[in-house]
Amino acid sequence: MKVNSIPWHRLWMLFAQAVAIGAGLLVAWRAFGPATPPTPTTPTAARREVVTVHETSGSSSLASTLLGRRDAGYRQAARKAAASVVNVYSRSAPKRRGRRADDSLSLGSGVIVAAKGYILTNDHVVEGASEFAVMLPGGKTVDAKLLGRDPETDLAVLKVDATDLQPITFADADSVQVGDIVLAVGDPFAVGQTVTHGIVSATGRNRLGINTFENFIQTDAAINPGNSGGALVDIEGNLVGINSAIYSESGGFQGIGFAIPVSLARKVMDQIIAHGRVDRGWLGVSASDVERGDPGAVIKKIERGSPGEKAGLRVGDTVIALNGKSIADATALINETAMLAPGSQAEYKVIRQGETVALEAQLGRRLASAAKRR
């Protein structure tokens, strides 16, 4: 019997095929076979664990851990702020047959600012009502007294006789910046206390025609009717503003809301609590912005016998500073003057025919103008 031998080149081909098959089986085993447990004590194993955790969608992943901390922070902030936000109601004598004397109408929201029972809210929330009640966190309703109003900033203060109140914590007036996360807490449409979330879209918004004195925080946190007078807080639950108005063509939320910053709200609140009203400084001039866009306010008119006339101001003067603080435009001149107390001395720095002149005025008392309604 003759045995045919296999040529060497065929042996090489068979060997190559065997190697390829073996390699394929090894790849399949690694892909579908049981995984080899990593050695936990090696640096390589530690890096692999971090990568695995980061890639999973479970609560142990790095992204989820950071998100969980952020969400926990929101919960804490919401809980802290909610303990200081109330619902404001009107209580009036019955005006028609069949209406009970204890009928109430939800007006908006308010913020507890002192343990003694002071509540800060919007002027337009209390406007037109004569008797008030407040629903405290937890559902208890108590009568409230109106201490004072300031239509020019759309702020008002109520007072309740109640114990165990949780006053809100005020944020640093200069801490709010564009992009900061904020929560709006209030009672929209009288559905009950509600928290919404957004960011600070802009600061220092003015010339909107809402109030006489404007310095709004703009936010995209949802603010709807009934949120007025409620709190805008940071992620630590500290008060940064009083929710006041929305820009809307439909009457509902469209992503542009406005809050009165604590820097302004606190000054107004302190005066109302102390005096029942807000007294503002008055210079007695009319001004406009510098035409070429430079900073300053150009004096256009001076009332006869006014503090401005007595100080020596002239038509055409450009006011560039008040008590050392730069004046950006005509609005800033009015606002900064109004923030000073009547009777106080104020130094105005002006540019007159190319020269800088310093003038001192004793301010008068500004008469409150009619409130601008939204």
Q: Which residues are catalytic?
A: 124, 154, 228
Token representation of residue 111:
């913020």
Specify the length of the chain in residues: 374
User: Is the dihedral angle over the CA atoms 115, 118, 122, 124 positive or is it negative?
Assistant: positive
Burial 103-136 (b: 16+ CB within 10 A, else e): ebebbbbbbbbeeebbbbbbbbbbeeeeebbbbb
Please, are residues 335 and 319 in contact by the beta-carbon 8 Å criterion?
A: no
94: number of Cβ within 10 Å = 11
DSSP state of 170: B
Judged by DSSP in three states, 163 sits in coil
Specify the DSSP class assigned to residue 180: -
> Exposure string (b/e) for 55-69, b if CB count within 10 Å is 16 or more?
eeeeeebeebeeeee
Taking the C-alpha atoms of residue 299 and residue 315, their distance in angstroms, rounded to an integer, is: 5
The span from the CA of 15 to the CA of 269, in Å, is 92
CB-based contacts of 11: which residues, under 8 Å, 6+ apart? none
